[in-house]
């Protein structure tokens, strides 16, 4: 049996906080306790929000915590061809369509529908995309693309779900409602998710499943805020013929007011805590891993 493979996969769009420290330390401890490998992946596909100084800070903060990871580090921005290949497979299956509406136009479309009754929201609370662009004719699509209009590529969720049978994953941690063990995936709850954009051949969902498979990740340890997204990941894994790792979602670290931590919050930033005299052992205590 090859050793288990873990990964910590931060996005360099801000400084790390206690929530990241919790995920990173849990991954590190699991790798150490199981004789496994720990990878670090930089999820930097959003060029508008990711910055080199945040990436440099990630390496520095993790090293300060005492975490050791394998090199070279995988930076998603250097592997766009891998995501494009996965997107092409889904396109060949007829499961991808372009959507040309702006965010504001979608908000308007949803408001129109909500005028005549409740409209479904995804597990993160955002209204589902109404699917309007699915009915555009091939010639209209070609014309809009040729005109240079921006677009997002969405997964046709109904068609995708028709192609797969029962989807499930093994949850070693727990979901927000105590889900544990074999969890059945409910990707329909997310509607027609975005898989890529005109300028970027991937989204978070697509890149994460491609990378976890390419890197042989066997156990994904991450925060509970991504528990419901795992349903989309299980669907993409099935469609792309990729292995399904085990998942271990951990409860989120919350601030004194019970809110999820933000990258902008100074009180719980690792840099601020370190500057205030905290030691790595203090950080372990603060995230409940002493
Ligand atoms: N890059 C994601 C984040 O920083 C985490 C992705 C994952 O662990 O699957 O929230």
Residue 226 Cβ contacting ligand 1 at under 6 Å: yes
Residue 211 Cβ contacting ligand 1 at under 6 Å: no
Among residues 127, 132, 95, which one has the least CA distance to residue 206?
95
Q: Give me the DSSP letters along 32-77.
A: HHHT-EEEEEE----TTT--HHHHHHHHHHHHHHT----SSPEEGG
Ligand 1 atom index nearest CA of 229: 9
- The pLDDT assigned to 260 comes to 80
Residue 10 Cβ contacting ligand 1 at under 6 Å: yes
Q: Indicate the angle between helix axes 80-92 and 229-240, nearest 10 degrees.
A: 70
Q: Whose CA is nearest to atom 2 of ligand 1?
A: 10
The model carries a pTM of: 0.95
Q: Whose CA is nearest to atom 3 of ligand 1?
A: 10
Ligand 1 atom index nearest CA of 20: 4
Q: Which domains are assigned to the chain?
A: 1-78+253-290 (3.40.50.620)
Separation of CA 141 and ligand 1 centre (Å)? 33
Other CB atoms within a 10 A radius of the CB of residue 266 amount to: 11
Per-residue confidence of the chain (290 residues) as pLDDT tens digits?
A: 899 999 999 999 999 999 999 999 999 999 999 999 999 999 999 999 999 999 999 999 999 999 999 999 999 999 999 999 999 999 999 999 999 999 999 999 999 999 999 999 999 999 999 989 999 999 999 999 999 999 999 999 999 999 999 899 999 999 999 999 999 999 999 999 999 999 999 999 999 999 999 999 999 999 999 999 999 999 999 999 999 999 999 999 888 788 888 776 767 899 999 999 999 999 999 999 97
């Amino acid at each position: 049996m090859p050793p288990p493979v873990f990964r910590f996969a931060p996005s360099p769009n801000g400084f790390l906080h206690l929530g990241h420290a919790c995920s990173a330390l849990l991954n590190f401890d699991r790798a150490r306790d199981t004789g496994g490998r720990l990878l670090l992946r930089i999820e930097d596909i959003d060029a508008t929000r990711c910055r080199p100084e945040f990436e440099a800070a990630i390496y520095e903060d993790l090293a300060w915590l005492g975490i050791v990871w394998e090199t070279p580090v995988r930076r998603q921005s250097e592997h766009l061809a891998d995501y494009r290949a996965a997107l092409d497979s889904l396109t060949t299956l007829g499961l991808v369509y372009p959507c040309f509406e702006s965010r504001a136009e979608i908000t308007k479309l949803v408001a129109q529908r909500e005028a005549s009754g409740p409209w479904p929201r995804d597990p993160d609370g955002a209204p589902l995309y109404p699917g309007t662009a699915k009915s555009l004719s091939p010639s209209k699509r070609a014309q809009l693309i040729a005109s240079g209009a921006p677009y997002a590529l969405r997964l046709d969720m109904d068609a995708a779900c028709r192609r797969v049978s029962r989807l499930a994953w093994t949850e070693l941690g727990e979901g927000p409602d105590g889900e544990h063990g074999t969890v059945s995936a409910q990707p329909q709850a997310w509607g027609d998710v975005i898989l890529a954009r005109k300028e970027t051949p991937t989204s978070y969902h697509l890149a994460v499943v491609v990378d976890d498979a390419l890197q042989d990740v066997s156990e994904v340890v991450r925060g509970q805020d991504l528990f419901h997204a795992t349903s989309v990941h299980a669907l993409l894994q099935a469609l792309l013929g990729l292995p399904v790792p085990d998942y271990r979602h951990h409860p989120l670290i919350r601030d004194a007011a019970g809110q999820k931590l933000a990258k902008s919050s100074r009180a719980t930033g690792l840099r601020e805590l370190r500057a205030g005299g905290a030691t790595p052992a203090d950080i372990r205590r603060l995230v409940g891993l002493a």
